[in-house]
Chains A and B, each alone.
Chain A
Amino acid sequence: MKQVDYREIEGGLPFYMLVGAIGVFVLAALGAAYYMEHNGHWVTGMSNQVIWGTPHVFAVFLIVAASGALNVASISSVFGKTAYKPLARLSGLLAITLLVGGLAVLVLDLGRPDRLIVAMTYYNFKSIFAWNIMLYTGFMAVVGVYLWMMMERKMNTFTRAAGMTAFIWRLTLTTGTGSIFGFLVARQAFDAAIMAPMFIIMSFSFGLAIFILVLMALYKWADRPLGDAIVFRLKNLLGVFVAAVLYFVIAYHLTNLYGTENHGVERFILLDGGIYTQLFWIVQIGIGSLLPLALLYGPGGKSRLWISIACLLTIIGGLAQIYIIIIGGQAYPMEMFPGKEVSSSFFDGVVASYTPSLPEFVLGFGGVAIALAATVVGTRVLRFLPVSLADDQVDPHHSATDAA
């Protein structure tokens, strides 16, 4: 196989304009965070009923996607698929930047973000959050080392070992993220062991969708060749992951449906939960799973435009899925008194209402913007992107006749 030639993307005015445009969203997010922290959380849609809101949807989505973005690198280093090797660096970079974006949102939504230092000096080792703080920071370090092994020629021999470590770490990390919800015994919608593996498969899907979009956008932006061979490989893989997520969603709901005690919450999500039911059937299942599958595997699957739309829909479906898990799970009242109708001044026994506020959305998008800005700057200052991903550069067996 030919030596892959990596180069920084071009600087200059267009680069600064791009970074500036993304930067506007980052600044807006900081403003939103200040507004929320200065006034207190009552100015948001969050309450004592719906405790975690839209910022957490974005944060969890980005964190889950971060570990998934690393998959492309893992496929190359751990599973030895050389076709993915030129993409491994970008994959590692996205894994770190998406995580940073997600964590930024999470931290800026804390009640006391000024006490971040406390979160790093006081630990309760029984807390899944505390594990996650270590898993997240450790992930950045591990992937950082992995990138170094890949990018420093003298260290190339350690790439496989570093890649393996990063792969195991990322599986652990997503297990930890899923367990934030999976281990919550209090609420009907959570408290399921399937959460951890489901989050892992969600990460595969969301992370790859973002990866494909960023890859295509960056190559278009940098005006570098990106061949169909790699794009089609990736989009076929995405289809498998989208289907796998669908499978896990079905398994989760079927398990719940079998036990009578969960009929209430299942009825709420699947049948009469209003916005949550609509989000589930229309956005998560329809627009976010079935439509992308049709686009990726159907006749449109050869078109870059349809592939990017499929990626975008997968991302939207993913956000909807996490919205339903986090916010739908809180909106459904807790079963404290089985067999009784419950009422109180504290919204017991009723579906909690939640309307996301503008600052929450701005903060969430800010997290995405931070990830994108960091990715763009990263590819500008270091050699993450191959000069060419044209078919003959990527596939060792590719020949002109194949393409014809």
Chain B
Amino acid sequence: MSEESGIDIYRRRFLSGSATAAAGMAIVPGVFLHEIGHAKPAADPVTSDVRWGMLIDSNKCAEGCNDCVKACNDEHGLTGHDRPATDAQWIRKVKLKDKQTGHTQTLPLLCQHCEHPPCVDVCPTGASFKRHDGIVLVDKHICIGCRYCMMACPYKARSFVHETLQDQLPHAPRGKGTVESCTFCVHRVDNDGTPACVEACSAENHNAMVFGDLNDTSSEISKQLRQHSTSQIRADLQLNTGVRYRGI
């Protein structure tokens, strides 16, 4: 497998090309190839033509609502152990209160999927990396658990798996001794889906979160970003985050 044979390339093209066509007819409807008609062909690598991003409107984010967090935990099987200091949190609700005016607001905080991620810079093995489409991930196969990325992240977005895990979900592999964080639900995004948190927010009709392609000028997120004034958390670091906020 070290060098790719011609047949492999043929297969991959064939697979990707025909999957779309096959989806409609040959496949029993239901579980398989759901929505594949719009998706990036499974055999194609992600490219920098796309940059995934998220816009969070803190004005629409309801205080006391925790649906995005719950959706994330369910989606990735993040069950706590009743040890808040060591339990993993990929997304959390943060409450802000202005020290001068007393104005309060809430917002979800997650991995900001920076264009220049400090976690990626410091990782000694390259386990922390950024995909071409801007999603920042941990390759847990080569993570040695040094936690330098957690020291470097300005958003406290990463968690270390502090205990042995069992019954992980097939699409969300995670295990003791490695670092993890929000993946933008990469397994959904690669199948043309939306992150679980965004879906949950829309389901409640709060619509505080918009997910989409920042490079596509006609995408909903690009339109909104053009229309409204938005900000980045710790903009002073010039990391060009993929997650933007309104109302802070």
Binding site for B on A (CB under 8 A): 37, 39-42, 47-49, 51-52, 110-113, 115-116, 118-119, 122-124, 126-130, 133, 180, 183-187, 330, 334, 336-337, 339-348, 352-353
| A340–B85 CB distance below 8 A | no
Residue in A40, A119, A330, A340 whose beta carbon sits within 8 Å of that of B151 in the complex = A330
Q: Which residues, 76 to 131 on B, are CB-close (under 8 Å) to A?
A: 81, 83-89, 92-100, 109, 118, 120-127
Q: Is B37 an interface residue (CB 8 A)?
A: no
| A122–B85 CB distance below 8 A | no
Known A115-B144, A127-B121, A346-B92: A41·B153 in contact at CB below 8 Å: no
Which chain A positions have C-beta within 8 A of B93? 344-345
Q: How far is the CA of A161 from the CA of B21 in the complex (A)?
A: 71
* Complex interface bits, B143-173 against A, C-beta within 8 A gives 1, otherwise 0: 1111110111111101111111000000000
| B99–A341 CB distance below 8 A | yes
| A124–B146 CB distance below 8 A | no
B205 to chain A, nearest CB (A): 24
Which chain A positions have C-beta within 8 A of B152? 184-186
B229 to chain A, nearest CB (A): 17
Chain B: interface secondary structure? Answer: loop
Which chain A positions have C-beta within 8 A of B98? 339-341
Which chain B positions have C-beta within 8 A of A130? 124-125
5 contacts between A and B (CB under 8 A): A39-B164, A51-B147, A124-B124, A186-B151, A339-B100
Residue in A111, A115, A124, A133 whose beta carbon sits within 8 Å of that of B147 in the complex = A111
Residue in A51, A124, A343, A352 whose beta carbon sits within 8 Å of that of B126 in the complex = A124
Which partner residue on chain A sits nearest B69 by CB separation? A345
Which partner residue on chain B sits nearest A180 by CB separation? B148
- How many pairs of A and B residues are in contact by the CB < 8 Å rule? 169
Which chain B positions have C-beta within 8 A of A185? 118, 152, 154, 237
A347 to chain B, nearest CB (A): 7
Q: How far is the CA of A334 from the CA of B163 in the complex (A)?
A: 25
| B156–A346 CB distance below 8 A | yes
Which chain B positions have C-beta within 8 A of A113? 144-145
Interface residues on B, range: 35 or more
A308 to chain B, nearest CB (A): 36
Which chain A positions have C-beta within 8 A of B23? none
Which chain A positions have C-beta within 8 A of B83? 42
| A111–B160 CB distance below 8 A | yes
B12 to chain A, nearest CB (A): 26
List 10 additional A-B contacts (Cβ < 8 Å) besides A339-B99, A341-B96: A41-B162, A42-B81, A111-B176, A115-B144, A126-B121, A186-B152, A186-B153, A336-B156, A343-B94, A345-B84
Which chain A positions have C-beta within 8 A of B124? 119, 123-124, 127, 129-130, 133
| A40–B100 CB distance below 8 A | no
| B142–A129 CB distance below 8 A | no
Q: How far is the CA of A342 from the CA of B145 in the complex (A)?
A: 28
Q: Is B178 an interface residue (CB 8 A)?
A: yes
| A129–B148 CB distance below 8 A | yes
Q: How far is the CA of A130 from the CA of B120 in the complex (A)?
A: 12
| A124–B97 CB distance below 8 A | no
Which partner residue on chain B sits nearest A116 by CB separation? B144
